Chains A and B, each alone.
Chain A
Amino acid sequence: MAEQFDLVVVGGGPGGYASAFYGASAGLNVALVEKDTLGGTCLNRGCIPAKAFLETAAARRHVQHATEFGIDAVLGDTDFAVAQARKQKIVDGLVKGLTGLVKAKKVTYFLGVGALNADNTVTVTGAEGTTQLTGHSVVLAAGSVPRVIPGFEPGGPVMTSDEVLMLDRIPARIAVIGGGAIGCEFASTFADLGAQVTILEGLPKILPGLDADLANVVVRSFQKKKIDIKTGVAVKSHAPTGSGSTVISYGENETLEVDAVIVSVGRRPFTDQLALGSTKVAVSDRGFVEVDEYCRTSVPDVYAIGDLINTPQLAHVAYAEAILVVKQVLGETAIPVNYNRVPWAIYCSPEVAWAGPGEEAAKAAGYDVVVSKHQFRANSRAMIIGETDGLVKIIAKKNADGTAGQVLGVHMVGPWVTEQLSGGYLAVNWEATVEEIAHFIQPHPSLSELFGETVMALTGRSINA
């Protein structure tokens, strides 16, 4: 007999559990289907573990520089197994928290693979057989898996993020294939942990799409870390040496011997087990479930969110999409996500964070812009913490009289900028002008003063610059 719910959610990652919990908090009777562990990629194989390792790298950096602060610390060995255990403890704690929320919010949890049927019911196949779920609405949130490239299938020294995050040692020589956000985070982590890292990027530069001024700061910082960045090169194949390492062929007959190959060439939507072929849910030729701006699929009452659809692959975007969908299910006013203005964050060292278009993107979109950039090297707090690489860059619309108007984009690179973005995020999304925010006060001394200073500069005046 089919069990009846208001909402059936397939997938227990950020999009899925946010749908379930938000819906349950609004009084919906929710079923949540997850085939593996609550928390999905983000918590188990993505953001959270990766940031945990980045923090291990940060701890090592601090010890490295401790003598500058008068601490007589000696940099010892890094026991990555300990870092791994610490990460796992964090992850387990968070999974436990989610499990508690499932119970507290009275969400009915099904462990198994959820597949959609033509009549909008969901079949859950678990260890103990199958269950039929009927929901008034269905949310597909099955997430994504790492893309692989032919010849570099995971195994031995070749790994994707899934395997990297389970390492218990630090490979001495690492090639990171793909210089996007994930690749740069791994490169930064392992370089700070003492590995010799090479980035192999097919495009002319790493972090493609990022504002050039920010990307240049990252490149210079990476060079200081002795990360070798090779751009415009295609990888061809690799040949294991027999001693655990492998030799990559790339570019114009060049080779590189490494102990680990991290393939980070993006993630693909994971529709594989949803059985959409038997339904009328449209899937694009790139594999994304097709939705409108309200995350509605081509089948009424079936929604898709998160990495399954062609929107920014960010957990917080999935959260927003979850709320968008549940509000519709509740019959409330639903406001689509403005994907051009979501917050972005890359947690490499130095961190990168932004909202709204960069300078090139704003110009390409047809805006006349006024731009202001300020460096962290003149910021007192940055000097105090000893991390002065980076800048804040604000892109504003140019008024007819040449002055700066509405803030289009706020872009930051440098220490803790992922924590500093929120003011800029609000400015962009509230469509504030520089005049409207210039009189707001930043604490002193703080890193966030640089944002205030940059805004003020756009009004034509300044204090510290």
Chain B
Amino acid sequence: MAEITLPQLGETVTEGTITRWFKKIGETVAADEPLFEVSTDKVDTEVPSPIAGVLTEIRVQEGDTVAVGTVIAVVGDSVTASDASATLASSNVAEASSPSPVATAPTPAEAPQVVASSPAPAPAPAPAPVAAAPAPAAPAPTAPPAGGAGSVGTGGSAGVVLSPVVRKLISENGLDASRITGTGPGGRITRDDVVAVIERGGATSAPAAPVASAPAAARPAVSAPRAVAGARDEVVPLSKIRQATGAHMVASKAISPHVLSVVEVDFANVDAVRNKVKEEFKATEGFSLTYLPFIARAVVDALGDFPHLNASVGDQDLIVHRFVDLGIAVDMDYQGLLVPVVRDAESKRLRALAREINDLGNRARTRRVTPDEITGGTFTISNNGSAGSVLTMPVINQPQVAVLSTDAIAKKPVVVEIPGGGESIAIHPVGNLAMAWDHRAFDGAYAAGFLVRVKTILETRDWSSEV
């Protein structure tokens, strides 16, 4: 028998709304089979059952919102659910599938950041300097040695004993106890542990009202005409993700002076290689090789030459990131937008980028990304071309300073130089790369320099070495 708790969906997520149960009481669920869907302020996600068994109890009904760690259901083994506790006692093994901060295996703690790459983020109150402090992965080495029969129980997050003052400190700083490595006995979180996280800049902003943190200025005129639904109107409730996206977009426009710069790119050079390998690629990788990975690769390389685009604006400074966490905006069949992040994109070649973009995209569309996978990007690509637009001015994903829209690539007549001299008109695949950027961070010449660099890489690099 196992109690199913609302899992830790991400470090800034403290609660979630159960939107759907995939199983009814009495039905059998396999391990890793989707059990319920949970909606948080960041993402709707399907949560698989940690164990196989029969769903014996549903404690949180659809539509109810509960805190992370709350027991929401019980999955029993198919034979007897009742004598399980006796089994537990005598087997002396805590088969804790629920997340336990005390004794779980080391989990790399991503930088606890204010920043959400998703357009549906925990609000970014003014571009936080915190964005620059990627905390080092903090393993949780405190799990006791497996002496006895691995006998140290892990009773889910409810088992974490925190001092009231430590609990208060964690809560006041918007931190998540399950993400803090405790150095006290048995991995207990001490006051010093929390203070250390705060001093590292790990304070995650409390998920307060999004717009409140970018007050007044955020919506100067919006307050004027209030929309009232009349008899001939249909009122469509805005989904959580829609509202969150809206709040973030409003805040972003208030925070950053947006400027649009566009270059037109001739993709004939890319196509020369892409057409040659695409059959083989599809056969070996299982998905099609699109233009997007090429563009992503060119962007990552160009960011190396123009690092100020891979940055965040601090109080008196520009915080330049020495790594590229590349966000890729993914449309979820008109039901919202998610921006999963390819971590350390600067270390990945074309094929690896393609795989990761494909995987994250698929999972985002099916709502199987975790909130951590959609937070903390440093630069974002929005692939509007796949929807058909030819020129899009995207909105910056705060606290980043630029976002690139890849618009539709279509065959167009272009002037080409004929080998041996002279010019001619040829039919080439051509598309726009449109970038909205933050004028606080740099000026137009720098932005244009970056875009031209991306264009040059796409048009001249010998891509055959990368595929």
A293 with B154: CB separation less than 8 A? no
Q: Mark A303-340, 1 if CB is under 8 A from B, else 0.
A: 00000000000000000000000011111111111100
Interface size on A, residues (CB 8 A): 31
Query: Of A137, A292, A293, which one neighbours B92 at CB under 8 angstroms?
Result: A137
Instruction: Say whether B186 contacts A430, CB under 8 Å.
Output: no
Partner of A430, one of B92, B100, B145, B164: B164
Closest chain A CB from B71 CB (angstroms) = 15
Residue of A nearest to B163 (CB): A430
The 0/1 profile, CB within 8 Å of B marked 1, for residues 429-445 of chain A is 11111001000000000
Q: Contact check, A296 vs B164: say whether CB atoms are below 8 A apart.
A: no
For residue B161, which residue of chain A has the nearest CB?
Answer: A335
- Report Cα–Cα, A336/B188, bound state, in Å: 9
Contact residues, A424-458 vs B (CB, 8 A)? 429-433, 436
**B190 cross-chain contacts in A, Cβ below 8 A:** 431
A431 contacts B147, CB within 8 Å? no
> Do A292 and B144 contact each other (CB < 8 Å), given the known contacts A430-B165, A431-B163, A436-B165?
yes
Asked if A296 and B147 make an inter-chain contact with CB atoms under 8 angstroms apart, the answer reads yes
Q: Is there contact, CB below 8 Å, between B165 and A332?
A: no
Of A293, A337, A430, which is within 8 A of B166 by CB? A430
Q: How far is it, in angstroms, between the C-alpha of A6 and the C-alpha of B152 when the chains are bound? A: 16
Given the interface contacts A330-B153, A333-B102, does A300 sit within 8 Å of B144 by beta carbon? no
Q: Give complex CA distance A133, B53 in Å.
A: 36
Instruction: Verify A294–B147 contact, CB threshold 8 A.
Output: yes
Q: Does A301 contact B (CB under 8 A)?
A: yes
Q: Which of A294, A429, A431 contacts B144 (CB 8 A)?
A: A294
Within 8 A of A (CB), among B180-227: 184-186, 188, 190-191
Is A136 part of the contact surface with B, judged by Cβ < 8 Å?
Answer: yes
Q: Contacts A296-B147, A436-B165 given; indicate if A335 touches B92 (C-beta within 8 A).
A: no
Most chain B beta-carbon contacts within 10 A, residue among A6, A328, A329: A328
Q: Answer whether residue B31 sits at the interface, using C-beta atoms and an 8 A cutoff.
A: no
Asked whether any CB of chain B lies closer than 8 Å to the CB of A27, the reply is yes
Residue of B nearest to A432 (CB): B165
**CB-based contact B159/A301 at 8 Å:** no
Q: Is A245 an interface residue when CB atoms closer than 8 A count as contact?
A: no
Residues of B81-125 at the interface with A, using a CB-CB cut-off of 8 Å, are 88-94, 100, 102-103
Cross-chain contact A292 with B145 (CB below 8 angstroms) = yes
By secondary structure, the B interface counts as loop
Q: B283 within 8 Å of A by Cβ? A: no
CA–CA, A417 to B267, complex, Å? 83
Tell me the bound Cα distance from A294 to B164 in angstroms: 24
Enumerate chain A residues within 8 angstroms of B149, measured Cβ to Cβ: 300-301
> Residues of B contacting A328 with CB < 8 Å?
92, 148, 151-153
Output the least CB separation between B177 and chain A (Å): 14
CB of A28 within 8 Å of the partner chain: yes
Q: Given the known inter-chain contacts A331-B153, A332-B159, please indicate yes or no for A6 contacting B90, CB distance below 8 A.
A: yes
Query: Which among B144, B145, B185 has the greatest number of chain A C-beta atoms within 10 A?
Result: B185
Q: Which residues on the A side are within 8 Å of B160 (C-beta)? A: 333
Which of B152, B165, B188 makes the CB contact (< 8 A) with A294? B152
Confirm or deny: A406 has a beta carbon within 8 angstroms of a beta carbon on chain B. Answer: yes
Report Cα–Cα, A336/B184, bound state, in Å: 9
When C-beta atoms are compared, the residue in chain B nearest to A332 turns out to be: B153
> Is the C-beta of B34 less than 8 angstroms from some C-beta in chain A?
no
The answer to whether B159 touches A406, judged by C-beta atoms less than 8 angstroms apart, is: no
* CB-based contact A330/B89 at 8 Å: yes
Question: B191's contact among A292, A337, A431, by CB below 8 Å, is which?
Answer: A431
A residues in contact with B165, CB < 8 Å:
430-433, 436
Q: Which of A282-300 contact B (CB under 8 A)?
A: 292-294, 296, 298, 300
For the complex, give the distance between the alpha carbons of A436 and B172 in Å: 14
User: How far is B167's CA from A432's CA once the two chains are assembled, in angstroms?
Assistant: 11
Question: A338: which of B94, B148, B184 is its contact (CB, 8 Å)?
Answer: B184
Does B246 touch A at the CB level, under 8 Å?
A: no
A331 in contact with B191 (CB, 8 Å): no
Interface size on B, residues (CB 8 A): 33
Q: Which residue of B lies closest to A429 (CB)?
A: B163
Asked if B89 and A28 make an inter-chain contact with CB atoms under 8 angstroms apart, the answer reads: yes
Min CB distance, B163 to chain A, in Å?
A: 4
Is A300 a contact partner of B148 (Cβ separation < 8 A)?
yes
- Complex Cα–Cα for A433 and B186 (A): 23
1/0 per residue, CB under 8 A from B, across A401-438: the answer is 00000100000000000000000000001111100100
Contact residues in B for A338 (Cβ distance below 8 Å): 184-185, 188
Whether the pair B147, A300 counts as a contact (CB closer than 8 A) is yes
**A338 and chain B: residue at smallest CB distance:** B185
Q: Please tell me which one of the listed residues A296, A332, A432 contacts residue B155 in the complex, with CB atoms under 8 A apart.
A: A332
**A329→B163 contact, CB < 8 A:** no
User: In the assembled complex, which residues on chain B have CB atoms less than 8 Å from the CB atom of A431?
Assistant: 163, 165-166, 190-191
Closest chain A residue, CB of each to CB of B162: A430
Q: Which residues of A are found within 8 Å of B88, using beta-carbon distances?
A: 330-331
Q: Check A334–B153 contact: CB distance below 8 A.
A: yes
Contacts A301-B148, A429-B163, A436-B165; is A334 near B186 (CB within 8 Å)?
yes
Q: A301 contacts B151, CB within 8 Å?
A: yes
Residues of A within 8 A of B185 (CB): 293, 335-338
**Is the Cβ of A136 less than 8 Å from the Cβ of B102?**
no
Q: Give every chain B residue within 8 A of A294 (Cβ-Cβ).
A: 144, 147, 151-152, 186
Q: Please name all residues of chain B whose beta carbon is closer than 8 Å to the beta carbon of A330 when the two chains form the complex.
A: 88-89, 153
Instruction: Look across to chain A and name the residue whose beta carbon is closest to the beta carbon of B146.
Output: A300
Given known A27-B89, A332-B159, A334-B152, contact A293–B186 (CB-CB < 8 A): yes
CA of A27 to CA of B147, assembled, Å: 24
Cross-chain contact A301 with B92 (CB below 8 angstroms)? yes
Residue on A nearest B86 in the bound complex, by CB:
A27
Of the listed residues A136, A327, A331, A406, the one surrounded by the most CB atoms of chain B closer than 10 A to its CB is A331
Interface pair B93/A335, CB less than 8 Å apart: no
Tell me the complex Cα distance, A206–B147, Å.
40
Q: With A6-B90, A28-B89 in contact, is A327–B147 under 8 Å at CB? A: no
Cβ-closest chain B residue relative to A328: B151
B147 and A292 within 8 A (CB): yes
A46 to B153: give the CA distance in the assembly, Å: 34
Contact of B89 among A329, A337, A430 (CB under 8 A): A329
Using known A-B contacts A294-B147, A328-B151, A432-B165, determine if residue A336 contacts B186 with beta carbons closer than 8 Å: yes
CA–CA, A402 and B291, complex, Å: 60
> Within the assembled complex, what's the spacing in Å between the Cα atoms of A327 and B164?
22
In angstroms, Cα B151 to Cα A333, docked, is 9
Residues on A with beta carbons closer than 8 Å to the beta carbon of B89: 6, 27-28, 329-331
Chain A residue at minimal CB-CB distance from B188: A335
The residue on B at minimum CB distance from A430 is B163
Question: Which chain A residues border B100 with CB–CB below 8 Å?
Answer: 333
Residue in B93, B148, B155 whose Cβ sees the most chain A Cβ within 10 Å: B148
CA distance A137 to B159 in the complex (A): 22
Considering the complex, give the chain B residue whose CB is closest to the CB of A298. B147
A residues neighboring B (CB under 8 Å): 6, 27-28, 136-137, 292-294, 296, 298, 300-301, 327-338, 406, 429-433, 436
List 18 additional contacts besides A136-B92, A331-B92, A332-B153; criterion CB under 8 Å: A6-B90, A292-B147, A300-B149, A301-B92, A301-B151, A328-B92, A328-B153, A330-B153, A333-B103, A333-B152, A335-B185, A335-B186, A336-B186, A338-B185, A338-B188, A430-B163, A431-B165, A432-B163
Can you offer 28 A-B residue contacts whose CB atoms are under 8 A? A6-B90, A136-B90, A292-B145, A294-B147, A298-B147, A300-B151, A301-B92, A301-B151, A328-B148, A328-B151, A329-B89, A330-B153, A331-B92, A331-B93, A331-B151, A333-B102, A333-B103, A334-B153, A335-B161, A336-B185, A338-B185, A406-B191, A430-B163, A430-B165, A431-B191, A432-B163, A433-B165, A436-B165
Among all A-B residue pairs, the 8 with the closest Cβ atoms: A333-B159, A336-B185, A431-B191, A430-B163, A333-B155, A332-B153, A300-B148, A336-B186
Residues of B within 8 A of A (CB): 88-94, 100, 102-103, 144-145, 147-149, 151-155, 159-161, 163-166, 184-186, 188, 190-191
